[in-house]
Every structure is written in C-alpha cells, then in structure tokens.
A and B are shown apart, each in its own frame.
Chain A
Amino acid sequence: NAGVTQTPKFQVLKTGQSMTLQCAQDMNHNSMYWYRQDPGMGLRLIYYSASEGTTDKGEVPNGYNVSRLNKREFSLRLESAAPSQTSVYFCASSGGHRPIQETQYFGPGTRLLVL
C-alpha cells in the first residue's frame, strides 16, 4: 500500500514549456486534490476532484488544467509554464462518505523550477 504517489519528484522547465504532473492513490479514495506550496504562504488549493469524472477549481487555478483519468489517477497540466509557477506541488486524496470529516492524505511532492 503505497498511499499517494507523485511523479516526477523534481523538474526544471523553461518558460513556455508544458508538462504534466502525475498523481496516483491506491486507497480507493473518491476525492483527489492538487495544492501548491510557496514559502510563507502555506498550501493553496489549485483544483480538486470530488469523484471520478468531476473536477472543480480551487483558490489558484489560473495557468493549470487537470484530468481525473480514473478513480486512482489525477493529473495536473501546465500548458505554458511561467516563473510564477515555480513551487512545490502536492497531490492529496480522501475517502469516506462524509467528505467534510475525512482526512486528506498527501503525496511526497513535486518540486518544479521554471526558468
């Protein structure tokens, strides 16, 4: 049981390049999330998926797209990377029947540097 896994661990991009961050969970959770963490700002929600087939915007969705490929996988795409997207990205998942009470479990993160 690996929990939440993310690939890659680290990536360097040039401005304007695109890339997809991958996330998978093996806990049979319904909900999945993408956050970014910047120094002094805690974690901010980019997008989330309440269940397979649905996605919704979080606090900071501009410049990102997401795909809930199936129940296990939730990817985050940067179509045209900008230096402001340099950050650490975390994927999380949660399960259960009462989402508001459920614990979110986090992956190890992807460090992204945009030059």
Chain B
Amino acid sequence: AQSVAQPEDQVNVAEGNPLTVKCTYSVSGNPYLFWYVQYPNRGLQFLLKYITGDNLVKGSYGFEAEFNKSQTSFHLKKPSALVSDSALYFCAPRLNDYKLSFGAGTTVTVRA
C-alpha cells in the first residue's frame, strides 16, 4: 500500500539549533514528494518538492529536504530554527496525478 510516515508527532528545538522533520514514504513508481507547513488557523503553504534531479532540494523560508531513494526518505531540514518556524509540517507523496497522501503531520515547537 502506498503511504507516508512521519515518525515523530512532535519535535522541540531551541532557536538557533538545527531542525529536522523526518519523513519516509512508500509509493509505486517514481516518487514525487512535497512538504507543506500549516501555521495555526491557516491553510497549508507549500515549502518544497522533489520531482527529479538533485537529491537536495531547497525551498521557502530557508528549508531544504534531502531525497534518499535507498532509504525511501525525504527529511526536511533547516540549519538554524526560528521561533516563527513553530507550526505543523506535512510530508505528502503524490500517489497519482491528483492524489496527495497526507499523514497526521509533525508539530514543531521552537523555543526562544
């Protein structure tokens, strides 16, 4: 079955420290992988995506993600977290032309 897993419900980091949000996926065929962020009481905002090419993808707000085909992972990273990065993060593999697979997401809290 095609799916996505974000193994950590919550990630807590201090401001200025590196932030990593983990994601593993299971899809048939070529993986097309997306990261979204949701701030409280807001819609989802697109951060970055992997379609093909370089395994390191750079996105909005200083975030980047590394695609690892052998480990079927697509972890989101930020070298130096900000308090304003506190939000709910979703990894979403594309299952077919129109369907994204969303898990429950990971809540990130960055403390000052």
Q: Does B82 contact A (CB under 8 A)?
A: no
- Name the prevailing secondary structure of the B interface residues: loop
Instruction: Give every chain A residue within 8 A of B34 (Cβ-Cβ).
Output: 103-104
A100:B94 contact, CB within 8 angstroms: yes
Shortest Cβ distance from B99 into chain A, in angstroms?
6
Residues of A within 8 A of B (CB): 4, 31, 33, 35, 40-45, 48, 50, 56, 58, 90, 92, 99-101, 103-109
A105 touches which of B46, B94, B98, B100 (Cβ 8 Å)? B46
| Residues of the B chain whose Cβ atoms lie less than 8 Å from the Cβ of A99 | 97-98
Give B residues with C-beta under 8 Å from A: 32, 34, 36, 42-46, 49, 51, 90, 94, 96-100, 102-105
**Would you call B43 and A109 a contact (CB within 8 A)?**
yes
Q: List 16 A-B contacts (CB under 8 A).
A: A31-B98, A33-B98, A35-B102, A42-B103, A44-B102, A90-B44, A100-B94, A100-B97, A101-B94, A103-B46, A104-B100, A106-B43, A106-B44, A106-B45, A108-B43, A109-B42
Specify which chain A residues have a CB less than 8 angstroms from the CB of B99 in the assembled complex. 45, 48, 58
User: Which residue, A43, A56, A90, has most C-beta atoms of chain B within 10 A?
Assistant: A43
Q: How many inter-chain residue pairs (CB < 8 Å) link A and B?
A: 53
Which of A40, A42, A58 sits near B90, CB closer than 8 Å? A42
Chain B residues whose C-beta falls within 8 Å of the C-beta of A50 in the assembled complex: 97-98
Q: Determine the distance from Cα of A16 to Cα of B102 in the docked complex, in whole angstroms.
A: 30
Minimum C-beta distance from B95 to chain A (A) = 9
List of B residues within 8 angstroms of A33 by Cβ: 98
Taking CB atoms, residues of chain B closer than 8 Å to A42 are: 90, 102-105
How far does the alpha carbon of A41 sit from the alpha carbon of B51 in the complex, in Å? 25
The answer on a CB contact under 8 Å between A40 and B44 is: no
CA distance A109 to B46 in the complex (A): 15
> Chain B contacts of A101 at CB under 8 A?
32, 49, 51, 94
